[in-house]
Structures are given as structure tokens and as C-alpha cells.
Structure 1
């Protein structure tokens, strides 16, 4: 009996000692230092971090403040806009409806939205539900987003204009991240369920998971309590941004949530759809959202082994050191976030930040992930920040050269009044240019809050500085024939859209 008691005591000691060691030292000893250093380095006012392992919360903690210049601390219930991490909720909603027999994901979009049209009639007839949310429609990444983002367009107008665009590539031949496809998905969910997208998501996902503070719309986020304010960096300094309405693209990126609420989403994702023993969504639904549908390309990692990057229904999928990663990032005005699942390890990681110009939300994710996979510490944040500084230096040099040209006060080859007037893009609509104190002021038909200041830099080019820093500072080329301005190319920051938009003078 004595020997048996000794063995039992040893087993108990061994069990608890092994379990105590399952939390990596990076988490137990270094996390706070790493996060606080990252916030200072990237000028991030506030962040929230969640780590779930084996169904239990290891870390759920807020850092910093909700708004620059205040002492209002971020806590585990502080809401952040999660951006495109919304897409996994929309993908899950469609998979739920399929599981209930109310639709088939291979169904054509026009079966549910017969009024929808694309420029190519053949694509209109063959476009299915998987196509619109797995980014295989033939569009370039972000193509069309300038027209919709923070615009005055309704969701129906977004869908109409989206259908008028000419895809850059052939149908189903290339991955191109297409936000407006999710606006279509939201309309299909409404048609099939009888509920608007935001109501369906709340009833079928938020409520069963006790995500009681989570909101589906950006307009509700702005009215909520304990919310993080959006921030950006302008001329090297952090500024607070106004809340923007992005609900015309809600199913692609408008959810606001906290790490406390996202804990429940992560636990269900890692436990076959169960939450405290209740099946919120069947395991088949989870598996359907993680089925690879589109090849993004070869995956790259600066240090460790990976091969392929794929896309499912609102989730990115990749291999990493022999493990499957299910993950996504999100970026909207003033926020960037990441959600990462390692199903085999029952590990979930969430990083939320309240600026839109940092790579910390990714570097911390990789550091936590590597620590759980027993991989070497890489100090990703220092590497990412060094790259950011180099890019910033090049951009500052470019901008200085442009501003030096402006300071030389070149006169346009033709009268400035020739550049004034009304211009039209065949899908977007109208832009107008007026002479204000020897510079041009840009206004846009569907962006009533947005203006641009155009300063002449020579060769029929102007530097446009947008009133909303998210839209960036871009050079517009004007095209002149026989002394008359015929058109110009409008650009916005790559965060919104890579494509030029040619406006013709009316």
C-alpha cells in the first residue's frame, strides 16, 4: 500500500508538473513585455490579446488605451472592429443554411437574386455561391473597393455597380480578394432565411455563443459603450479617426467584438461547433467552411516551413511546420486584427489593435504560434518594424521630392481653369474639380465626406492629398489633347484599392 501511495503521488506530481509546462515561457514570462514594447514601437494606443488552448483561456487581456490622450484602459470587454474576420461568420452562415437544406453552395447566385447581372452574361448565368465568397470571380484584389468604401451607396447600389465592372482576369482562373462578393452573400442569406444578414448572424451565431456585446454593423459599433476608437498615423503622428459607416459592405467586414466574446467563437471553432456542451453549429458546417476552394498561391514564411496558401469560405488555409492553420486578418478604418486557429493543437490566437498602420498584430500572432509549436524565438516584430521603417523612408523621400516640385511653383502648360469641371467614370459616376486658391479641389458624387486637394507638380500631373488619411496621397495623371483636358486617372491608397479609375471630362 505504501509503495502504491508513492506511485500515485508521483503520478499526480508528474501530471500537474507536465500540465504546468504546457504554457510556453514566452506566454508566462515575456508576453507583457513584448506587447508593451510593440505598442510603443508602432505607436498603437491599445490592443487586446486572446489565447485559447484545449478549450481553456490562457490569455484574455487588454493593453493600452481605447483612445489616444486618455487613460481609458482597454479591457477584455472592449469592442474593436474586426474587419475581414467578419467573413468567417458570413461563410459559416451560408454553410449553416446549406446544412439545413435551405440552399446548396453550388447553386447559382441568380437562383436567389434573379435581378443580379454582371457585365458578361455567361458569368451571370454560371456564378455560384462558392465563387462569390472564395474570391475566384476573376477580379483583381480590392478591384472596385474605391467605389464602395465609406461611400454613400446603399448595399443594393454596391451590388449593381459591382456587376458593371469588367474583371481583370478570366472567370475562376485566379485568386482576387473581392469584398463586394460578400455583399452578394449577405443578400442571398436574407433571401433564403427571411432575415437581414445582421439579424441572421445574431440569432444563429452571436446569441447561442453568448456573444452579447458583439455587434454586426458599424453604425451600432459607433453607438456602443466600451469601444476602442479608430486611429491612424498621419505625418508620423497618431491621430484619432472618426467612426465611418461601412455597412453597405457589412457581410465582408463590419462586425465589432471583444476578446471575451471572441473566446466563445474560438472555443466552438476548436470543439467541433460545441459551446458548453451545446452544438451551436454542426461539425459538418465547420468542415465546409475550411474546405479549400481557391488557390491563393505558394505560401511564404521568413523562417519556417510552409508550402501552399488556400482559401475556403471566409477562412485562409495554409500548412505550417506540418500543421494546418485556419486564419484570417482584418483591416478597416483605424483597426487591424488577426484570428488564427490550429485545430490539431486546439489552439486559437486573436490579436486586436486600434491603428490601421502596424504589423504588430501579425508579429505577435507568429510569436505566440511558434512558442506553442516549440519553434525558436524569432523576434518577428523587430524584423517587421525594420521593413516598415525602410518602406517609410522610401515613401518619405518620394513625397519630399514631389513637394519640392510643388514648391517650385510650376505653371501648368495650359490654364488651370482647363482642368476644372465635371468628369465621369463609366461605373462610379461623377467627380468634380474646382479651383480653390490656385489648387484644385476634388469632390466625388458618392463620397460626400471626402475631398482631395490637388497641387500641380508638372507634366499635367497633380499630387492629391485626401481629407481622409486612409485614402492616402497619390499622383493623378491628366491627359491633354489639342490644349484640352480629356481625362485623368484617380488613385487611392493600396489599403483600399490598387486599381486606377479613369474619369473623362464631360
Structure 2
């Protein structure tokens, strides 16, 4: 692993008061060395920076920042720094729906068309019977991350764009048959909030959740961050790079998909959010926002999902399900409610142990598993002390995975020994290719080289490198994306009819769902 970059002070004084989340209170029980475990997690994943926080019995017992907020600068990660919490935002959407359900305005089991009449999926029967609960539980039958290229890595779709695309996304499994994570349907759920309440999703969440809970430093989307608030910079790395590259600012998620992944929060406010739930959805001022009945709906598992290989090896979790915006699982004999989040260059993990009155949060400005590993390490120490070393086990696997992925990417630029030249002149491949849910992709000829332009993205534009016959490699200029794609042109009767795409490496994020495209040449 490469040298870890840490704050020169290593650990800030725990006797100081947090800038958010209240004063510290020494633990009366034997506590893990939170700062040491944070440093270990960062070293295992060669992280640029991280923030971490723990609440026990309503008190923040740990809150600190580590490392750099941005490579190439002297900015440090601070306690009050905003991180994009990405898919942890999904719980804010389901909380909004729970509030509306308490008011009798939303029914979890009503068809989406009750609230959005034009809603449709690929299958007409599914379109008619697809419920609010279905939109929230990753059991739609769509493939993993289907349609994410509508917004990933830098596109800005409207809700109308997403509603228009959904009927063209082909399922890969039966309706309600299995778990496959998605984002677009949470945007649909956010639109239900908007149409029922008469407010935008961001306004409703700000007025009905963020403000009353006391999350005074959180922002419902990037446009609502106040001037002067410190915001972390995410980092990605080209395969084999020894440090992160600050992500392109264009990759900040568009406000239109905030219901799936849009919030920004500092760690202190995440402790307030944790205590709100640990107190039964009651604010610090004693106001209940969600009834016991609706809290039970949110935290009841619906869709079985697989448990990660490291967690399985630990033996600490037997079953994991997805509820309404939350993962629900057992952990060392107690209930764990959680969610992770990933945005370009940033990952986070948030844990609640309701029966133990414990909340744990961490976020890192690298697209790596540092926060998840840290939170599990701390949870193990606090809940049962089984002494399984999540950091060591996960770090070792990560190092091997990076090496394999780097080899995959290198092989993409090493065509087979018997590789053949394209069977048609390069000019024959140029033109407009259209997919029914994504839209247009342009192939042009620039200085005797093919060039691909993904119309929704400014970042996904780059040269096509010949590989073998009709297969090329889309080599995106931003090497930190690690998302190069094979492009296979379909030729019949001497003419190009269309093209298919798929990521070169397994390390490519699933939201680069090139494989879901069916591009037909239209000119």
C-alpha cells in the first residue's frame, strides 16, 4: 500500500466540543480506540481523508476528521465539513413518504399511478400494479443500476426524462423476484412526495425533516449549500495511481436526483439524525415526526439481499433484507439498521443499533470502502467484542482486487496476438446511434481516429481505440473514472447496424451501465 497522508496532529482533542452535534461526554464503559481504528482503516485503503462519529445513549462520544480534504491543497478534513451522503439520502425520501402516510395522503401499497398517472415500466401489467413499496425496495426486476447513465457521472436529467426512460428498460428478473439495487425509482418516489405535498422534494424534506430534526448544517441538494460552508472534495484514482485525483466538479449529482442520492451533511448532524431515530423518530424538542406504525413499516425487511463476503466470514450476520430506505439485518444477536452511500469520489456508511442506543457514521473522500470497514470494526467492538478484524481482512482483499482490476484495464490496451483490423473503413462506423431510454450517441472521425460522444455526458467523450475487428475500446480522457468500455459494432451485409457496450473491468462502478444500452444506427 502507498504512504498514508494524515493530519499532522493525527487526532484532535476529544475534550473539545463538536462544532455540530453537542458536547462530548466520556464513556462509562470500556471504549475502543476510535481514532486508532480510523487511522488503521485509512491506511488499509490508502484513503485521502475521512470523518467519523459515534453516539451512545444520546451523547456524541467521538467526532473527528482525518487527512486531507483535497489533494494538492493544505485543506484538512474538519468536523464541520459537509460530505455528500449519497444513497443515505434514500431514508429521507422514505421518511417524507412516512409523514405523508401518517396524514393519510400516501398508501405504501397503492399503485404509483395513483399519484403519477403517466408512470410505466417495461411490462404493462407491472406498470399497473407497481406500488410505492415496490419503488423503494429494489425488487422491480430491473438489472443492477439500470438507467443510471441518465445521471452518472455528470448528466442532469429531468424527472420527465426518467419517467420517459423507464418503460424502455428491460427487466432481467421477475417482478418482486429478487434484489437488484436501483436509483431511478427513488427519483420516482421523490416525485410522489412532490405531487402529493404540492412542494418540491427538496422543499418538503427541508421544511418537514431537516429543520425540525435540527440538521441545521445539512443541505437537501448541492444548490442549497450555504456560502462559506466547508465542503469536502471527492477523489478518484486511475488504476495504479498512488494518490487520489480531485473529481471533476461536473460529477456533483444534479438536484433532480436528490431523492435518491442528493444530501450533504457534516458528521455532527448525522449524529443528530441518529439520535432522532434512536429516540423513536422524536426530535430533541420532543416532536414526533413519524408514528410507531410508520416506523415499523420503514424498518421491516422486505427484499432479501446477499451479505458481503467479509461479513459472512465474520459470522456476525446471518440475514440481511432491504426495508423502506434502510438495510435491516442481525448483528451479533441484535438488530442493525443501516445504509451506505457512494457518490463520485466519496463513500459513507451509517449504522443504527436501536436496542443498544448506538449510532455510527463515517465518510471518506475516496471511492473506497474505508467508512464501511471502520463502522463495522467499531460496531463489533461496541456490540459484542467478537474481535473480528474487519479492517485487516477487508484491506487485504482490497489490495488484491486493485491489482486484478489494474491487470484487466491493461489488457484492454493489449489486443489479442491475432487481432484483425476493422472489416470496414472507419468512416463506415460514423453516425448517430440511438437507444430508446438513453438517447443518442455520436461516433465521428477525427484525424483518422474514431471518437465517441455520449450525448448526456460531457465527461464520457473520447477516442475509440481499435481492439479486434469490430471491437474498439472507449478510452475516456479522465483516467480516474476507471470506466473504459468495449464498443462492439454490429455489422450485417456490409453495413453497420448498431453497437453494444460493456465496461472493460469489474472495478468499474455499476452505475456505468453501458451494458443496458441497445444502440441502433439511425443515420
TM-score by length of 1: 0.90
User: Per the alignment, in what secondary structure is the counterpart of residue 216 of structure 1?
Assistant: coil
In the alignment, the residues of structure 1 paired with residue 176 and residue 74 of structure 2 have an alpha-carbon distance, to the nearest angstrom, of 50
In the alignment, the residues of structure 2 paired with residue 435 and residue 280 of structure 1 have an alpha-carbon distance, to the nearest angstrom, of 61
1:349 aligns with 2:360: yes
In the alignment, which of 480, 497, 511 is matched to residue 496 of structure 1?
511
1:335 paired residue number: 346
In the alignment, the residues of structure 2 paired with residue 72 and residue 116 of structure 1 have an alpha-carbon distance, to the nearest angstrom, of 46
In the alignment, the residues of structure 1 paired with residue 214 and residue 462 of structure 2 have an alpha-carbon distance, to the nearest angstrom, of 44
1:487 aligns with 2:487: no
In the alignment, which of 232, 235, 241 is matched to residue 247 of structure 2?
241
User: Residue 293 of structure 1: CA displacement?
Assistant: 2.0
Cα deviation code 1:144-181 (max 9, x no counterpart): 11233232321221122123322222211122212111
User: Per the alignment, in what secondary structure is the counterpart of residue 301 of structure 1?
Assistant: helix
**Once structures 1 and 2 are overlaid, which stretch shifts more, 412-421 or 265-274?**
412-421
2:263 paired residue number: 255
User: Per the alignment, in what secondary structure is the counterpart of residue 490 of structure 1?
Assistant: strand
1:288 aligns with 2:304: no
Contact kept, 8 Å, 2:421 with 2:469, in 1: the verdict is: no
Q: How does 1:115-130 map to 2 (within 5 A)?
A: 115-130=118-133
CA 1:320–1:122: 2 relative to 1, 3 Å: same
Higher Cα Rg, which structure: 1
In the alignment, the residues of structure 1 paired with residue 498 and residue 327 of structure 2 have an alpha-carbon distance, to the nearest angstrom, of 39
1:505 paired residue number: 521
In the alignment, the residues of structure 2 paired with residue 47 and residue 354 of structure 1 have an alpha-carbon distance, to the nearest angstrom, of 6
Which has the larger share of helix? 1
In the alignment, which of 468, 473, 484 is matched to residue 473 of structure 1?
484
User: Residue 410 of structure 1: CA displacement?
Assistant: 5.9
User: Residue 20 of structure 1: CA displacement?
Assistant: 5.0
**Once structures 1 and 2 are overlaid, which stretch shifts more, 484-493 or 197-206?**
484-493
In the alignment, the residues of structure 1 paired with residue 167 and residue 223 of structure 2 have an alpha-carbon distance, to the nearest angstrom, of 26
In the alignment, the residues of structure 2 paired with residue 76 and residue 204 of structure 1 have an alpha-carbon distance, to the nearest angstrom, of 26
**Once structures 1 and 2 are overlaid, which stretch shifts more, 200-209 or 405-414?**
405-414
User: Residue 85 of structure 1: CA displacement?
Assistant: 0.2
**Once structures 1 and 2 are overlaid, which stretch shifts more, 396-405 or 64-73?**
396-405
User: Residue 21 of structure 1: CA displacement?
Assistant: 4.8
User: Residue 440 of structure 1: CA displacement?
Assistant: 1.9
Cα deviation code 1:14-68 (max 9, x no counterpart): xxxxx955142x23xxx32332243344332221101011111111111112111
1:182 paired residue number: 186
In the alignment, which of 57, 60, 65 is matched to residue 68 of structure 2?
65
1:4 paired residue number: none
In the alignment, which of 137, 142, 145 is matched to residue 139 of structure 1?
142
User: Residue 266 of structure 1: CA displacement?
Assistant: 0.4
User: Residue 483 of structure 1: CA displacement?
Assistant: 2.8
1:86 paired residue number: 89
1:326 paired residue number: 337
What RMSD, in angstroms, separates the aligned Cα atoms of the two structures?
A: 2.2
**Once structures 1 and 2 are overlaid, which stretch shifts more, 91-100 or 422-431?**
422-431
TM-score by length of 2: 0.87
User: Per the alignment, in what secondary structure is the counterpart of residue 475 of structure 2?
Assistant: strand
Contact kept, 8 Å, 1:471 with 1:496, in 2: the verdict is: no
1:196 paired residue number: 200
1:170 aligns with 2:179: no
Contact kept, 8 Å, 2:332 with 2:384, in 1: the verdict is: no
Q: How does 1:221-240 map to 2 (within 5 A)?
A: 221=225, 225-235=229-239, 236=241, 237-240=243-246
2:21 paired residue number: none
In the alignment, which of 44, 49, 53 is matched to residue 46 of structure 1?
49
In the alignment, the residues of structure 1 paired with residue 45 and residue 57 of structure 2 have an alpha-carbon distance, to the nearest angstrom, of 32
In the alignment, which of 370, 373, 396 is matched to residue 386 of structure 1?
396
Contact kept, 8 Å, 2:305 with 2:320, in 1: the verdict is: yes
In the alignment, the residues of structure 1 paired with residue 495 and residue 395 of structure 2 have an alpha-carbon distance, to the nearest angstrom, of 46
2:468 paired residue number: 458
User: Per the alignment, in what secondary structure is the counterpart of residue 450 of structure 2?
Assistant: strand
In the alignment, the residues of structure 1 paired with residue 341 and residue 477 of structure 2 have an alpha-carbon distance, to the nearest angstrom, of 23
**Unaligned 5+ runs, structure 2:** 1-25
Cα deviation code 1:210-265 (max 9, x no counterpart): 21111111333496620001111114141001232432211000100001111111
In the alignment, the residues of structure 1 paired with residue 166 and residue 210 of structure 2 have an alpha-carbon distance, to the nearest angstrom, of 29
User: Residue 92 of structure 1: CA displacement?
Assistant: 0.8
CA 1:438–1:54: 2 relative to 1, 3 Å: same
2:77 paired residue number: 74
User: Residue 497 of structure 1: CA displacement?
Assistant: 4.1
User: Per the alignment, in what secondary structure is the counterpart of residue 208 of structure 1?
Assistant: helix
CA 1:438–1:219: 2 relative to 1, 3 Å: farther
Number of equivalences? 483
In the alignment, which of 322, 335, 343 is matched to residue 311 of structure 1?
322
User: Residue 120 of structure 1: CA displacement?
Assistant: 2.1
In the alignment, the residues of structure 1 paired with residue 385 and residue 263 of structure 2 have an alpha-carbon distance, to the nearest angstrom, of 33
Contact kept, 8 Å, 1:88 with 1:313, in 2: the verdict is: yes
CA 1:208–1:152: 2 relative to 1, 3 Å: closer
User: Residue 315 of structure 1: CA displacement?
Assistant: 0.1
Cα deviation code 1:337-358 (max 9, x no counterpart): 00011111111110111111x1
Contact kept, 8 Å, 2:253 with 2:261, in 1: the verdict is: no
CA 1:395–1:301: 2 relative to 1, 3 Å: same
User: Per the alignment, in what secondary structure is the counterpart of residue 77 of structure 1?
Assistant: coil
User: Per the alignment, in what secondary structure is the counterpart of residue 102 of structure 1?
Assistant: coil
